[in-house]
């Protein structure tokens, strides 16, 4: 019997599905363990070998935990709202729900064939109305909440209204908009309903506000900060501009401190926590108010260095600052306006890219120093960002490099307030090891003391206070897209109203086209049936809108992160109970939160921050009991593709007039010559093998002279002679017809250009040799290679290789389907783990899979011989037991440490040893299968079955390690001389230090090594090493 992996894997996958082997129970005596993968977006391209990496790791862990006696929840689902399906819909007119369904089918088939132990009965899809009903419900909860800074948690909006009714807003300490006017209880009670609603919006955790958003014209939508990379959109790389729009926002900033503090309670990687800390960007300092001379206005600034208050020599406002136009003097008006116009034109991207250029204008106005009462000139400059802090800074050039550069550039005074600091070249930016001077009452103090006192004195003046600032901005929540969750919102007189929970879900309407309307409204603006009837509580036709009982519905949809911010709770609930709640109290109580979460690090500041925010809100409002969604998180590294390249060349030719005057070609002449030059600049149809590339690095053979070796010249000559001749002939013909004399010159430094083109990795074997015929007949490349000529080296065409991200456009994608068919899912699983540490980025190389595949064949042969099962009840030998228990120990440690690559090696060693030992003992081979089963479940189930077991191996107890089997009676001691190992010597384990020394010193090899010298010292570490010094 041979190892027929295809039928074995099919058999067990069917068995697991039929018996619901991995269905989790919400009622169990066993301890719970929740293992979760970041759920995939089902793209049209299907899975490539990089995708399952994390799933395999989490599956091994889940299966291990089952062996360890845990009730394991290991679900999977789809993040099925998203841009690609919508883009596809725009192009083809196909409904995104249809393509999404097709893609999910492909994903499911691909996932199933890898043998994951998912509980599919709990699947979720964010685009299913029964799911997004609850996303809409959570949105309503956010709307119905405000953040009370006194209790440091969110409360129902009703508690805020009660306060307003009794005390007004003076005593309320809430996370809210900063432009709220104070009002009394009486005023509140006299406001119209609309005025009240408008005020409440400024307190709600999700609110409608006109915000500056990142508008991406190419995508026709708004993007969140984390969806922009280097000033362009993450998807597609389109430019992004600032634009004011009325949008739903999430008041995540209310949770900044708790999001920061919470990081200390969770087991995530340091780099991930650091990313979130940076994103939250807490800075502690003070706010200081400067009076503007001649006006009633004040300028508030935030500073982290209140101790340097006496070092202020100017102030800088962002060009967008609201006071600029008011305080600018007539003399400076023109310059200021010109500057504002100039900076407004510069895109955010330009401003970010160009950090070096210093620019700014004096407004002519002065502020008053709070202590010295000296006048301080007020400047504007675009190095101050309107969106951070108050959009104004107190500039302390001696202590801040940007202020320093600005002062130097505009020749503003740089007073030194640091004792003994040299500020002739740059600012002294460090807080440490320096005392304040020239600063009145702060003289002689260090940073800490001076800051404290400065804040105290500012408070006495009523011109400042201690303050903490966060970089974290509120998150824009509206998207001008079709394929996302509709908001459960309609508008009465422009004021948003929530639809009652009882009427959810509000289902995405049908539209004819998935594009924005001609008026620039989002795609939902095209829906004909998209109005809310408050009498019948149904969605009705738009033409019925009367703005009395029937109102327009919200046209935006929610962003991608809405559905993914809470899906981990949905899995906790069995499908049957999902109607009444997003998850029942019992389910939430039992599963609590995710014990292990595995996914990519690209979600560091998006999904992983927003989920934490929503969970904290749900906790505050009493819907869940946990403060954090993911206890432990591991980032799997990306599997990279090894791209293959073929090479083409071209000539860099110049045409020069023979007279020295350097007359250029006339227009007509140029027209004649250009096409010829173009033809040879890139010789399209000829491909050179990689090794021949080097012959094109240097000069053309004809002007090489004798300095170059024979080989070089002959090679190059052979290959390009014809081309050069043709080029010269064709050009010569053209040039001869001209009046002037021209000559053809190859660019002396770089006569050739080398071009590389991606080719499909499928046509390249493990020795980098290209299957030319396969490539030529590949339809996908069209005519590109059909008539091409391939110049070989040593009889073959060698491609160049480079490691890049796996992507369809780079032709380096490896599909797992083919691998599963050729080697089996168990081989794929083992190999993905064997590649290297989970967290690391690593290139894929299919050739190596034969190693793990051979291992599985050897494993099979250990159990099954030509005449069937070899396993018997033989008494295990000491060596058998040693091998087994060594393996148990190592594998258990590896899994706990997520070091899956090393356990695969351990299995190989174990099987190699047991094969050599000719082990047939069931007592050894049965537990070995349990060890291997999390990694290679199909073969393990099959052999387990053949050993006569009736039930699945999946919940069999993990073998128990017994140290007694590893106790050695002797040790192969390395004997080193001056730290260098020279030979080994087997000595009894219980031999004393002195005896070891005596035995070693008496050994002939020691004597030979020493060659008559007397050692200075002999180090003996029993059980470890002997080192002879001297």
Residues from 979 through 998 that contact RNA (CB under 7 A): 979-982, 984
The span of 41-49, 601-609, 811-819, 924-932 binding RNA (CB under 7 A) equals 601-609
**Interaction with RNA in 699-738: which residues (CB under 7 A)?**
none
- CB-based contact 631:596 (threshold 8 Å): yes
354 vs 725, beta carbon nearer RNA: 354
Minimum distance of RNA from residue 757's CB (angstroms): 21
Minimum distance of RNA from residue 229's CB (angstroms): 6
Helix, strand, coil shares, percent, the chain, to 5: 40, 20, 40
Name which position in 163, 481, 612, 890 contacts RNA (CB under 7 A). 890
**Interaction with RNA in 851-870: which residues (CB under 7 A)?**
851-852, 854-855, 857-858
Minimum distance of RNA from residue 716's CB (angstroms): 27
Minimum distance of RNA from residue 63's CB (angstroms): 20
**Interaction with RNA in 502-531: which residues (CB under 7 A)?**
none
**How far is 245 from 240, CA to CA, in rounded Å?**
14
Minimum distance of RNA from residue 994's CB (angstroms): 17
Token pair of 736, please? 């001869």
Minimum distance of RNA from residue 385's CB (angstroms): 4
- CB-based contact 627:262 (threshold 8 Å): yes
**Interaction with RNA in 166-225: which residues (CB under 7 A)?**
225
**Interaction with RNA in 443-472: which residues (CB under 7 A)?**
469, 471
Site for RNA contains 912 (CB under 7 A): yes
Name which position in 229, 241, 338, 733 contacts RNA (CB under 7 A). 229
Positive or negative torsion for Cα 265, 269, 270, 275 = negative
Name which position in 113, 221, 976, 1006 contacts RNA (CB under 7 A). 976
164 vs 406, beta carbon nearer RNA: 406
Name which position in 592, 602, 730, 995 contacts RNA (CB under 7 A). 602
**Interaction with RNA in 351-370: which residues (CB under 7 A)?**
351-352, 354-355, 357
Token pair of 114, please? 């890898």
Token pair of 498, please? 């929530």
236 vs 748, beta carbon nearer RNA: 236
**How far is 271 from 224, CA to CA, in rounded Å?**
22
Token pair of 696, please? 């094109």
**Interaction with RNA in 236-275: which residues (CB under 7 A)?**
270-271, 274-275
Minimum distance of RNA from residue 512's CB (angstroms): 38
168 vs 974, beta carbon nearer RNA: 974
**Interaction with RNA in 916-975: which residues (CB under 7 A)?**
972, 974
The span of 81-89, 386-394, 685-693, 941-949 binding RNA (CB under 7 A) equals 386-394
Site for RNA contains 609 (CB under 7 A): no
Name which position in 15, 191, 383, 410 contacts RNA (CB under 7 A). 383
Site for RNA contains 92 (CB under 7 A): no
204 vs 842, beta carbon nearer RNA: 842
**How far is 488 from 504, CA to CA, in rounded Å?**
8
Contacts of 753 (CB under 8 A, 6+ apart): 649, 650, 651, 652, 681, 682
Minimum distance of RNA from residue 650's CB (angstroms): 27
320 vs 945, beta carbon nearer RNA: 320
Helix (H, G, I), strand (E, B) or coil at 735: helix
Minimum distance of RNA from residue 831's CB (angstroms): 8
Helix (H, G, I), strand (E, B) or coil at 345: helix
**How far is 48 from 816, CA to CA, in rounded Å?**
6
- Looking up tokens 């030998």 gives 877
Helices 667-681 and 710-736 cross at an angle (nearest 10°) of 150
Site for RNA contains 302 (CB under 7 A): yes
Minimum distance of RNA from residue 838's CB (angstroms): 9
Name which position in 439, 556, 901, 920 contacts RNA (CB under 7 A). 901
384 vs 932, beta carbon nearer RNA: 384
**Interaction with RNA in 760-789: which residues (CB under 7 A)?**
766-767
Site for RNA contains 584 (CB under 7 A): no
- CB-based contact 557:483 (threshold 8 Å): yes
Site for RNA contains 347 (CB under 7 A): no
Of the candidates 191, 82, 19, 130, the one whose C-alpha atom is nearest the C-alpha of residue 560 is 82
**Interaction with RNA in 995-1024: which residues (CB under 7 A)?**
1009, 1017, 1019, 1021, 1024
Of the candidates 643, 629, 569, the one whose C-alpha atom is nearest the C-alpha of residue 599 is 629
Minimum distance of RNA from residue 845's CB (angstroms): 6
Task: Give the interface size with RNA as a residue count (CB under 7 A).
Answer: 89
Helices 825-834 and 52-67 cross at an angle (nearest 10°) of 100
- b/e map 143-161, b = 16+ CB within 10 Å: bbbbbbeeeebbbebeebe
Site for RNA contains 384 (CB under 7 A): yes
Minimum distance of RNA from residue 59's CB (angstroms): 20
Distance, CA of 1000 to chain centre: 57
658 vs 992, beta carbon nearer RNA: 992
Contacts of 980 (CB under 8 A, 6+ apart): none
Minimum distance of RNA from residue 894's CB (angstroms): 7
Name which position in 847, 966, 989, 1007 contacts RNA (CB under 7 A). 847
- CB-based contact 549:490 (threshold 8 Å): no
Of the candidates 175, 224, 158, 152, the one whose C-alpha atom is nearest the C-alpha of residue 616 is 152
Minimum distance of RNA from residue 347's CB (angstroms): 12
611 vs 827, beta carbon nearer RNA: 827
Q: Beta strand pairing status for 361-368 and 282-292?
A: antiparallel
> How would DSSP label each residue in 367-397?
EE-TTT--EEEEEE-TTS-TTSTTSEEEE-T
Exposure of 810 in the CB half-sphere (CA atoms within 13 A) = 15
Name which position in 102, 534, 845, 917 contacts RNA (CB under 7 A). 845
Name which position in 552, 836, 1015, 1022 contacts RNA (CB under 7 A). 836
Site for RNA contains 879 (CB under 7 A): no
Q: How far apart are the first and last CA of the chain?
A: 61
98 vs 1021, beta carbon nearer RNA: 1021
**How far is 507 from 493, CA to CA, in rounded Å?**
23
Minimum distance of RNA from residue 302's CB (angstroms): 5
**How far is 735 from 899, CA to CA, in rounded Å?**
69
Name which position in 908, 936, 939, 991 contacts RNA (CB under 7 A). 908
Of the candidates 140, 38, 206, the one whose C-alpha atom is nearest the C-alpha of residue 565 is 38
Q: Is 549 left (phi over 0), alpha (psi -120 to 50) or beta?
A: alpha
Site for RNA contains 843 (CB under 7 A): yes
Site for RNA contains 607 (CB under 7 A): no
The span of 687-695, 864-872, 877-885, 906-914 binding RNA (CB under 7 A) equals 906-914
**Interaction with RNA in 661-680: which residues (CB under 7 A)?**
none
Q: Which helix (H) or strand (E) holds 651?
A: strand 639-651
Minimum distance of RNA from residue 249's CB (angstroms): 17
Site for RNA contains 311 (CB under 7 A): no
438 vs 902, beta carbon nearer RNA: 902
- CB-based contact 556:524 (threshold 8 Å): yes
Helix (H, G, I), strand (E, B) or coil at 94: coil
Please state the length of the chain: 1030
Token pair of 935, please? 């990694």
Minimum distance of RNA from residue 239's CB (angstroms): 16
């Amino acid at each position: 019997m041979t190892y027929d992996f295809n039928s074995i894997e099919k058999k067990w996958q069917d068995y697991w599905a039929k018996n619901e082997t991995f269905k989790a129970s919400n009622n169990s005596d066993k301890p719970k363990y929740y293992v979760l993968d970041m759920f995939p977006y089902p793209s049209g391209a299907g899975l490539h070998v990089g995708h399952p990496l994390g799933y395999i790791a989490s599956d091994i862990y889940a299966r291990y935990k089952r062996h360890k006696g845990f009730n394991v929840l290991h679900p999977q689902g789809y993040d099925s709202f998203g841009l690609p399906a919508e883009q596809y819909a725009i192009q083809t007119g196909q409904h995104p729900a249809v393509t999404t369904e097709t893609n999910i089918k492909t994903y499911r088939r691909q996932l199933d064939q890898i043998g994951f132990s998912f509980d599919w009965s709990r699947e979720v899809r964010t685009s299913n109305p029964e799911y997004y009903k609850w996303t809409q419900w959570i949105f309503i909860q956010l709307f119905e909440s405000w953040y009370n800074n006194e209790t440091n948690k969110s409360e129902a909006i009703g508690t805020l209204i009660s306060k307003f009714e009794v005390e007004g807003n003076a005593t309320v300490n809430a996370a809210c908009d900063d432009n709220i006017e104070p009002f009394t209880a009486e005023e509140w009670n006299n406001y119209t309903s609309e005025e009240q609603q408008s005020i409440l919006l400024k307190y709600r955790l999700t609110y409608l506000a006109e915000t500056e958003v990142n508008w991406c014209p190419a995508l026709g939508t708004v993007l969140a900060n984390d969806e922009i990379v280097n000033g362009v959109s993450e998807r597609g790389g389109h430019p992004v501009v600032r634009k004011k729009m009325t949008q739903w926002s999430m008041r995540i900033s209310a949770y900044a401190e708790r999001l920061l503090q919470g990081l200390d309670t969770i087991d995530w990687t340091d780099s991930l926590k650091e990313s979130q800390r940076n994103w939250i960007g807490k800075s502690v300092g003070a706010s200081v108010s400067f009076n503007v001379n001649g006006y009633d206005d004040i300028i508030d600034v935030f500073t982290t260095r209140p101790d340097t208050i006496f070092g202020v020599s100017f102030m800088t406002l962002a060009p967008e600052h609201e006071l600029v136009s008011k305080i600018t003097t007539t003399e400076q008006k023109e310059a200021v306006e010109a500057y504002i116009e100039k900076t407004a034109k510069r895109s955010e991207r330009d401003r970010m890219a160009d950090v070096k250029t210093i620019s700014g204008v004096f407004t002519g106005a002065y502020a008053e120093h709070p202590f010295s009462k000296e006048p301080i000139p007020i400047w504007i400059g675009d190095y101050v960002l309107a969106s951070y802090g108050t959009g104004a800074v107190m500039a302390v050039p001696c202590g801040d490099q940007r202020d320093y550069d600005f002062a130097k550039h505009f020749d503003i005074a740089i007073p030194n307030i640091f004792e003994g600091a040299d500020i002739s070249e740059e600012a002294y930016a460090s807080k440490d090891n320096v005392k304040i001077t020239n600063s009145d009452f702060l003289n002689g103090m260090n940073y800490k003391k001076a800051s404290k006192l400065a804040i105290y004195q500012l408070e006495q003046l009523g011109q400042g206070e201690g303050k903490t600032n966060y970089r974290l901005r509120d998150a824009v929540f509206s998207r001008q897209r079709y394929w996302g969750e509709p908001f459960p919102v309609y508008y009465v007189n422009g004021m948003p109203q929530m639809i009652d929970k009882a009427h959810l879900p509000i289902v995405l309407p049908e539209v004819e086209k998935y594009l924005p309307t001609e008026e620039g409204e989002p795609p939902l603006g095209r829906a004909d049936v998209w109005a809310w009837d408050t009498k019948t509580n149904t969605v009705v036709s738009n033409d019925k809108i009367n703005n009395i009982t029937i109102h327009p519905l919200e046209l935006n949809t929610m962003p991608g992160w809405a559905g993914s911010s809470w899906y981990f709770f949905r899995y906790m609930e069995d499908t049957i109970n999902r109607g009444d709640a997003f998850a029942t109290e019992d389910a939430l109580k039992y599963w609590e939160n995710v014990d292990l979460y595995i996914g990519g690090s690209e979600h560091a500041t998006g999904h992983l921050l927003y989920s934490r925010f929503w969970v904290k809100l749900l906790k505050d409002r009493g819907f869940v009991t946990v403060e954090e969604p993911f206890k432990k998180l591991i980032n799997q590294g990306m599997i990279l593709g090894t791209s293959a390249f073929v090479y083409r060349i071209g000539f860099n030719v110049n045409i020069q007039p023979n007279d020295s005057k350097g007359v250029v070609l006339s227009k007509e002449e140029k027209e004649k010559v250009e096409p010829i030059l173009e033809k040879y600049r890139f010789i399209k149809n000829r491909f050179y093998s990689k090794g021949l590339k080097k012959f094109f690095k240097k000069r053309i053979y004809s002007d090489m002279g004798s300095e170059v070796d024979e080989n070089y010249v002959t090679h190059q000559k052979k290959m390009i002679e014809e081309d050069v001749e043709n080029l010269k002939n064709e050009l010569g013909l053209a040039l001869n017809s001209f009046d002037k004399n021209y000559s053809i010159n190859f660019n002396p430094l770089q006569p050739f250009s080398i071009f590389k083109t991606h080719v499909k990795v499928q046509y390249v074997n493990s020795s980098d040799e290209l299957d030319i015929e396969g490539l030529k007949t590949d339809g996908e490349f069209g005519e590109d290679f059909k008539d091409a000529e391939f110049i070989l080296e040593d009889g073959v065409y060698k491609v160049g290789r480079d490691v890049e991200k796996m992507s369809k456009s780079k032709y380096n994608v490896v599909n797992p389907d083919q691998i599963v068919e050729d080697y089996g899912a168990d081989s794929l699983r083992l190999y993905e783990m064997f590649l290297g540490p989970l967290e690391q980025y690593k290139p894929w190389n299919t050739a190596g899979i034969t190693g793990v595949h051979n291992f599985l064949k050897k494993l099979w042969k250990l159990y099954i011989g030509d005449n069937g099962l070899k396993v018997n009840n033989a008494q295990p030998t000491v060596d058998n037991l040693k091998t087994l228990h060594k393996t148990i120990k190592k594998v258990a440690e590896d899994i706990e440490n997520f070091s899956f690559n090393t356990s695969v090696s351990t299995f190989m060693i174990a099987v190699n040893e047991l094969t050599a030992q000719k082990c047939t003992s069931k007592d050894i081979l049965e537990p070995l299968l349990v060890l291997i089963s999390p990694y290679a479940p199909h073969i393990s189930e099959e052999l387990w079955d053949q050993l006569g077991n009736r039930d699945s191996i999946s919940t069999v107890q993990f073998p128990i390690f017994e140290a007694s089997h590893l106790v050695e009676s002797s040790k192969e001691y390395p004997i080193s001389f001056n730290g260098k190992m020279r030979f080994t010597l087997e000595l009894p384990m219980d031999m004393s230090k002195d005896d070891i020394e005596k035995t070693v010193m008496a050994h002939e090899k020691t004597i030979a090594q020493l060659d008559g010298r007397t050692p200075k010292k002999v180090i003996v570490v029993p059980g470890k090493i002997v080192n002879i010094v001297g």
